[in-house]
Amino acid sequence: MAKKRNGKMHKGLQLTLGITMVLSLLLTACTSNGGSGNKDKTEPTQSAVSNTGGNDESKGNEGANKPVYPLNTKDTFSYWAPINGNLITFTTNLAEAPIGKAIAEATGVKVTYIHPTDGQAEEQFNLLLASSKLPDVLEYDWSIYPGGPEKAIADGVIVPLNDLIDQYAPNLKKMLEANPDLDKMVKTDSGQYYAFPMVRNSEGVVFRGPMLRKDWLDELGLQLPVTIDDWHKVLTAFKEKKGAAAPLTALYANKMNLQDAFFGAYKTSHGFYIDDQGKVKYGPLDPQYKDVLTLFRQWYSEGLIDKDFPIVERNTLDKRFLNGESGATVYLLGGGMGKWLESGKAQNPDFNLAAAPYPVLKAGEKPFTGQRDFKYNPKASAAVTTSAKDLETIVKWLDFAFSEQGTMMYNFGVEGESYTMDNGVPKFTDMIVKNEKYTSQQMLAQFTVPNGPFPMHEQKTTNTFPQQDEAVKVWAETDAEKHILPAFITPTVDESKKVAQTMTAINTYLEEMFIKFLMGNESLDKFDSFVKQLEDMGIRDVIDIYQGALERYNKR
């Protein structure tokens, strides 16, 4: 061990070398610890605000207590939010996008945006809460915080906004006073405000539904299907006459994403719903749920349902539709119908899609349920954390989105660039909707804020095809409003813990059993024992908890 080996080297040189080695090793040890430490992966943006005094139109004509934009402040803050998937093509940070720069210029505040890795927002959000250093603002789905927003306030994660809104957010305040139903959604049971909400416009609440290849229907001389039997006929024709390998397909995200299409025909749901008596129910426990399974089982065995349905991702869906492997699905208005019409027509001028109404058993019935969201979208709402320092600036900045000027900017971008006024109606320019290189979705992500804490303008539509306008009308024709359980009901802390534990196991079980029933690996005679298993796992307790939370919600 102790042999001297300084034969050829100078003493001082040796020491330097030793120390250098140590230092460099320590450095690498510190930097290469990249396991989960990408919480602070931000790129400080250098887009300094150059206020040349050009765009101050809305100055002066507002009330005395209203904040005047751009704010005269040196404050800055950090804003954590998932990045829009369509923006990634162009930039990794919202501050560098045209819309980010426009907002910074208009408000006079340079915000540092922090974006989690695309697709891992939920995990990173959870890790973030476990760390002690929070960004100043968190834009996320506060309804999934265990125990709800009220608990997040009690845990000292976010601050209640009631006083701050009173003082610094006149625009939001005005909106909440004018819309009591919205007010009820964005409060907790005890009346605390916790976030600046994303507010949808009246058309924006419906954005998903059943759609089919219209050109195939025309070619085969078929009508748009209305009843379950019609659907069976159409899907069979697609399979036999058009050679579709997977006539009906759907995105799979822990469940077949059908928005309760087909389930609704049997007056049930794939999850929790509210029945006609205002009681919370869990679909899989219903006897009629077995009818849905029987139907799907039959369709699957006839090859009408995508046989690979548990691994259908977004790109699979694109492939299925653009290669003529599928002729029907339940999917998004913009990211599905709009996108496929755009790329489908490029390949094949006849390519056409049409929205079908939610299926029913007998023609003339109104569909029991379907996709219908609420005005308030808790998924993209911004809460202020307890780490935030400059509360006044932050709240004023957040309120900008609710001012007239801000609403226009968030919805449409910059006038003359991304939109023009046409007889008082804002219209997107050709650069956005008829871009040679990029889809309109990609352009909108750069020049507007697709999702975030702002009110959607009543005249905002991102539809680029008349088929989409039609679709919104068709899909809205359901009784979903009465039967969908709001996402922002809030069980208490202990209840939430119970729900989380119970539902984790139940969701896994339901998912596996659903697949087995459909594929025929499990006989439908086992349905009763399946229901019993769900009850043994504690589903009744969860139903009771939700019932209580719903009643509290209705009393708000």
Q: Which residues bind another protein (CB under 8 A)?
A: 1-2, 14, 18-19, 21-22, 25-26, 29, 33, 122-123, 126-127, 129-132, 146, 155-157, 252, 254, 307-308, 310-311, 500-501, 504-505, 508-509, 511-512, 515, 519, 537
Q: Tell me if residue 398 falls in helix, strand or coil.
A: helix
Q: Are 333 and 452 in contact (CB under 8 A)?
A: no
Q: Which is nearer to another protein, 131 or 459 (CB)?
A: 131
Q: Is the bond into 149 cis (omega within 30 degrees of 0)? A: no
Q: Which is nearer to another protein, 14 or 190 (CB)?
A: 14
Shortest reach from residue 6's CB to another protein, in Å = 8
d(C-alpha 378, C-alpha 380), whole Å: 6
Q: Which is nearer to another protein, 85 or 146 (CB)?
A: 146
Q: Are 458 and 202 in contact (CB under 8 A)?
A: yes
Q: Which residue has the tokens 């209305």?
A: 226
Shortest reach from residue 152's CB to another protein, in Å = 9
d(C-alpha 513, C-alpha 521), whole Å: 9
Core vs surface per residue 242-271: b (16+ CB within 10 A) or e: bebebbbbbbbeebbbbbbbbbbbbbbbbb
Q: Which is nearer to another protein, 131 or 347 (CB)?
A: 131
Shortest reach from residue 38's CB to another protein, in Å = 14
Q: Which is nearer to another protein, 519 or 543 (CB)?
A: 519
Q: Are 549 and 295 in contact (CB under 8 A)?
A: no
d(C-alpha 326, C-alpha 318), whole Å: 10
Shortest reach from residue 372's CB to another protein, in Å = 26
Q: Which is nearer to another protein, 458 or 494 (CB)?
A: 494
Shortest reach from residue 22's CB to another protein, in Å = 5
d(C-alpha 108, C-alpha 119), whole Å: 31
Q: How far is CA 330 from the centre of its chain?
A: 16
Count helices and strands (H / E) in the chain. 21, 12
Q: Which is nearer to another protein, 105 or 141 (CB)?
A: 141
Give DSSP secondary structure letters for 357-396.
PPPBSSTTPPPS------SEEEEEEEEEBTT-S-HHHHHH
387's enclosing H/E stretch is none
Q: Which is nearer to another protein, 377 or 385 (CB)?
A: 385
Q: Which is nearer to another protein, 282 or 309 (CB)?
A: 309
Shortest reach from residue 252's CB to another protein, in Å = 8
Query: How many residues are given for the chain?
Result: 556
Q: Are 434 and 444 in contact (CB under 8 A)?
A: no
Q: Are 220 and 327 in contact (CB under 8 A)?
A: no
Shortest reach from residue 371's CB to another protein, in Å = 22
Q: Which residue has the tokens 């990173």?
A: 124
Q: Tell me if residue 250 falls in helix, strand or coil.
A: coil
d(C-alpha 63, C-alpha 164), whole Å: 18
CA distances from 428 to 85, 106, 308, 422 (A): 20, 20, 39, 10
Shortest reach from residue 132's CB to another protein, in Å = 7
Q: Which is nearer to another protein, 220 or 285 (CB)?
A: 285
